[in-house]
Amino acid sequence: MSRIHISWAEVGDYALVLAGALVEAIALRLFLVPANLASGGISGISQLINHYTGWPIGLMVFIGNVPLFLLGWRYLGGRRFVARTAVAVAAYSLFTDLLLVVPFFPKKGITNDLVLDSLYGAVAMGIGYGLVYRAQGTSGGSDILARILNRWRGIPMTQSYLMTDTLVVLAAGFVFGWQRALYALIVLYVSGLVVDSTLEGAGTLRTAMIITGQAEMVAERILSELERGVTILNGTGAFTGAERCVLYCVVSRPEVQQLKTIVRETDPKAFMVIGQAHEALGEGFEAFKKTGA
């Protein structure tokens, strides 16, 4: 009989999944449902059905995800997908209905302002999604459908999300009114931005490509003054045909000005391009993390 081994990294992942599911449920119950903002996916469809039938939203989210979960199992596969998605969907569905029986939870929301409900609901929902994604999981619904369409028909995931969520928002426009449908679009957009920030972090990094005739001197100053690694590449000018060294390094945002000063003082004739990076893994930055199987 084989033994199932679960690493501490996997335990941390499942903790993130549960935390993300709870934040999603709070966003739905505290901001979106009281304001009648159906922002798309299975949750949005469940809100529309609940409006007419009174059936529990969490239960309908779970039921609606069952066929998508089976399709995901069939077309996506993998223990990681099955386990993390099952936990995320079950926890989100359970938390969504359990919050109604928590004595101190404001079931009718905390504000009647549609703008506040849209923005805070989007931010909270985006954080919840981001936590689940960081744990290498999905939140079911549109996530599963988008991945299936991408793998099965080659449809980009962004287009899949746009198609599915737009249909739900259009339906919400007929049910809750077009003003709330427009606010629901704001929720979709802002929550997407927050997901990116949650996944990649707010501390956006900068990359620098430096073409200089004083490569060794510039590299030495970067190593000693900024304590950042530098990679020296060999380059050839297309117009002149001259051999030039190209330095490549990654620095934090506050270090950009110091890097400019180093280059300007060492080689005023240098050419430098500064770009943006969302994540850097390795020595001097975030360490590589082990992932579960």
For the chain, which residues score pLDDT lower than 70? 1-6, 75-81, 150-151, 153-159, 200-204, 254, 283-293
pLDDT score for 3: 53
Residue 159 has phi, psi (to 5 degrees) of -70, -35
CA 71 to chain CA centroid, Å, is: 23
Distance CA 30, CA 122 (A): 11
pTM, whole model, 2 decimals?
0.73
Q: What is the DSSP string of 108-153?
A: T-S---HHHHHHHHHHHHHHHHHHHHHTT---STHHHHHHHHHHHH
What residues contact 26, with CB distance under 8 A and at least 6 apart? Answer: 95, 99, 124, 128
pLDDT of residue 252: 79
* pLDDT of 86: 86
Other C-beta atoms lying within 10 Å of the C-beta of residue 131? 25
What is the reported pLDDT for 211?
93
Q: In the 8-state DSSP scheme, what is residue 238?
A: T
Assess if CATH 3.10.580.10 describes domain 205-277: no
Structure confidence at residue 293 (pLDDT): 44
Q: Tell me the C-alpha distance between 89 and 86, whole Å.
A: 5
Tokens of 56: 């529990």
Residue 95, pLDDT score: 95
Residue 177: CB atoms within 10 Å:
12
Q: What φ, ψ does residue 275 adopt, rounded to 5°?
A: -115, -175
| pLDDT (0 to 100) of residue 247 | 94
pLDDT digits (tens, 9 = 90+) for 213-223: 899 999 999 99
Are β-strands 271-277 and 205-212 bridged in parallel, bridged antiparallel, or unpaired? Answer: antiparallel
The secondary structure element, H or E, covering residue 11 is: helix 8-27
| Cα Rg of the chain, angstroms | 24
Give one word for 271, left, alpha or beta, with left for phi > 0 and alpha for psi -120 to 50: beta
Can you give the residue ranges of every domain in the chain?
8-200, 205-277
